[in-house]
Amino acid sequence: MIRSKLFWMVPLSLTLGLLGCGGGQPPAEQSGGAAAPSATPAAAPAAPIDPATAATITGKVAFDGTAPARPRIRMDAVPACTQRSSEAALVEEAIVNDNKTLRNVFVYVKEGLGDRSFPPPAEEVVLDQQGCVYHPHVLGLIAGQKLRIKNGDPTNHNIHPMPAQNREWNTSMPPGAADLIQEFPRAEVMIPVKCNVHPWMKAYVGVLRHPFFAITGADGSFEIKGLPPGSYTIEAWHEKYGTQQMQVTVGEKESKQVDFTVKG
Amino acid sequence: MNSSGVSRALHHYAILTAGATLLLLMAGALVVGYEAGLAVPDWPLSYGTWMPPLVGGILYEHGHRMIAGTVGVLTTALVIWLWWKEPRRWVKALGLVAWVAVVAQAILGGLTVLYRLPVPVVIAHGCLAQTFFCLVLSLALVTSPAWERAAQAAEEPPAPDFWHLAAAATAALFIQLALGAALRHKALGLGPHWVWAGVAGFLVGWVCYRAVTELAVQDGLRKLARWLGGILALQVALGVASYAFRAVTQGIHEPQTSVVLITSAHLATGALLLGCSLLVTLLAYRRVAAAGKVASFAGDPQRTFA
């Protein structure tokens, strides 16, 4: 009798406990709800942009505060990551330029273009893996534009974007593998990309329905050209310092400066 | 070899399997800690082979798979041994449950990779790992001489409600480990894990207190309960250290070895705590039942479930 009780007691209690903890919400991926921007061109395209009247928005992203330290990425355990470069790779999460501006800020037109649609250009955007670091760290694409991913390292990588509006995928790239061509059909700012083999490798991809974006470089400036005259919401995104928005109105052939300041 | 020799060897083999399972739990914790869960994007093979280059996160993910494979083989052999030599049918059945659990665990592990870490599946994978560890530990216990001694009721049995308390502590620990898994995989915040740590800690502490104050000094159950108290203290210290190290290293991009090791030790000690509490529960039940003092939940101390 005792035996039979024990027989049921052990597995039953553990199984009940297991059932109790395994529940929860369904996987939160690829929601793709109605609110998600679609890559499908709008049904009624707006008037084409006249290059003769196009406006330009320029500016810079200033950094106010003490520049954060950039620790060395410790990848010594993987010689394949360090053998091709004698320079130590530094964390790219926040890079303050010498002129007190911020690098790797994705600046783009968030609102104001209405239902204009822009077909993806044939030109590919390249994301390279060199020294177990993504180059570039931040990049922009038009929805449907080809993204060419290269592996220049003598080691395995895997490319793992983690989007909220697009399909998630995780593809391995052994050394010498052929380039990987991918695209994101839906607009999404921003899509984190990581390598699970080398957890320090991170990049961010901004996918838009239009080409009006720029990424700040070594001087912290940006330029968005070819805009039709109008009023726009310009957003600046940074992986550590979040987002800021500014309103700007540009007339025909006008060039306006929009400067952001990020507090450190 | 006589039957006693076979039984002893079987018991030792079950302990070996339980030890390998604890190692597997730690390897799994390292995979999570080093964010290497998807370092190998395919399953059941790794990069299409049995042995990919063990670099970066692949070392942890594929290492976890290799240890898991070893535990699977050990468990299969254990179950075959049980069905071959073990006379008790319920022990054979328990072994079969353990085998089904390890197979299910392998499938859940595969699903975590193929479906890119869906949170419910990952948490279920963590919970089933603890469940499987408990099953193997139970097999090690019921094949041990201590299990037979407990049936002989050579020592004064604990009060009938002692095993109820121990069972409640074990259940609370299991819930706490599930909350920990939910925390690690970001399904829940730290709050539930902290709050429930108080509940589980109180119950385990109460078990220890009652064992120490009510059982004879030479009683094996009392000694086991003292171990339980020691593991609880270690687990609380590791939990606090894990939180502190995380707070200090917050904002650092790459996984920090100090945090990963402490968190993995916290997980493994949690499994040990759960396992030890389960052993106390089962032994207490065995002795109470042998003495004919199994209390029903209706409150009659003389009634048994029989």
Interface list for B 73-112 with A (CB within 8 A): 88, 90, 93-94, 97
- Final residue before a domain boundary, out of B86, B115, B143: B143
Instruction: Test B131 with A155 for CB contact under 8 angstroms.
Output: no
The angle subtended at Cα A199 by Cα A198 and Cα A202, nearest 5°, is 100
Lowest mean pLDDT among A37-46, B58-67, B285-294: A37-46
A263 CB-contact burial (10 Å; exposed 0-12 / middle 13-18 / buried 19+)? exposed
- The ipTM is 0.71
In a domain, B150, yes or no: no
Residue pair B223/B208 in contact (Cβ under 8 Å)? The answer is no
Query: Whole-angstrom Cα distance, residue B124 to residue A20?
Result: 10
Residues B52 and B14 in one domain: yes
pLDDT in tens, A89-98: 898 999 999 9
Kindly state whether residue B151 falls inside one of the protein's structural domains. Answer: no
Identify whether residues B256 and B278 lie together within a single domain. Answer: yes
Residue B271 lies in a domain: yes
Question: Where does a domain end: B83, B115, B143?
Answer: B143
> For the segment B47-60, what is each residue's pLDDT rounded down to a tens digit?
889 999 888 899 99
Query: Same structural domain for residues B40 and B118?
Result: yes
CA distance readout (Å), A50 to A117, B16, B196 = 15, 77, 65
Q: Is B149 part of a structural domain of the chain?
A: no
Instruction: Give the number of domains in chain B.
Output: 2
- Cβ contacts of B131 on chain A, cutoff 8 Å: 14-15, 17-18
> Looking at B117, B143, B169, which one is the last position of a domain?
B143
Nearest CA-CA partner of A215 in A113, A123, A103, A121: A103
Say yes or no: B128 and B183 in one domain: no
B39-49 residue pLDDT tens: 998 999 998 89
* Statement to judge: residues B49 and B92 lie in one domain: yes
Instruction: List, in order of start, the domains of chain A with CATH numbers.
Output: 47-68+94-114+219-264 (2.60.40.1120), 117-209 (2.60.40.420)
| Closest-CA residue of chain A to B62 | A197
Could you say which residues from 128 to 147 on chain B have a Cβ atom under 8 Å away from some Cβ of chain A? Answer: 128, 131, 134-135, 138, 142
Residue listed under structure tokens 């730690």: B26
**B187–A156 CB contact, under 8 Å:** no
Report the residue from A73, A160, A174 with minimal CB separation from B38: A160
Say whether A17 and B118 touch across the interface (CB within 8 A).
no
State percent of chain A over pLDDT 90: 65
Residue numbers of the domain that contains B70: 1-143
Residues of B in contact with A197 (CB under 8 A): 36, 39, 55-58
Are A11 and B94 inside 8 Å of each other by CB?
Answer: yes
Confidence of residue A37 (pLDDT cuts 50, 70, 90): very low
Does A171 sit within 8 Å of B41, measured CB to CB? yes
Distance (Å, whole) CA B225 – CA B208: 5
The reply to whether B57 and B194 lie within a common domain is: no
Residue B102 confidence (pLDDT) above 60 = yes
Confidence at A22, pLDDT banded by 50, 70, 90: very low
Residues 7-26 of A with CB under 8 A from B: 7, 9-11, 13-15, 17-18, 20-26
**Cβ contact, residue pair A29, B116, below 8 Å:** yes
Are B128 and B181 found together in one domain?
Answer: no
Tens-place pLDDT, residues B203-243: 999 999 999 999 888 888 999 999 999 999 999 999 999 99
Whether the per-residue pLDDT at A23 is higher than 60: the answer is: no
Q: pLDDT class for A49, splitting at 50, 70, 90? A: confident
Among B residues 192-251, those touching chain A with beta carbons less than 8 Å apart = none
Name the residue facing B47 among A77, A156, A170 (closest C-beta).
Answer: A156
- B79/B214 same-domain check: no
Residue B148 maps to a domain: no
What is the average pLDDT score of chain A? 84
Residues B300 and B163 in one domain: yes
Q: What percent of chain A has pLDDT over 70?
A: 82
Both B293 and B173 in one domain: the answer is yes
* B68-71: long-range pairs with CB below 8 Å, 24+: B68/B24, B68/B27, B68/B105, B68/B106, B68/B109, B70/B20, B71/B17, B71/B20, B71/B21, B71/B24, B71/B102
Confidence of residue A252 (pLDDT cuts 50, 70, 90): very high
Please name which of B107, B108, B139 lies closest in space to residue B121, comparing C-alpha atoms.
Answer: B108
- 23-62 in chain A: CB under 8 A from chain B: 23-29
User: With left for phi above 0 and alpha for psi between -120 and 50, is residue A104 left, alpha or beta?
Assistant: left
Q: Taking 50 as the threshold, does the pLDDT of residue B132 lie above it?
A: yes
Q: Is A180 in the B-facing interface, judged by CB distances under 8 Å?
A: no
Which of A3, A5, A9, A10 has the highest number of chain B CBs within 10 A, making it the mutation to test binding with B?
Answer: A10
Residue A138 has pLDDT above 50, yes or no: yes
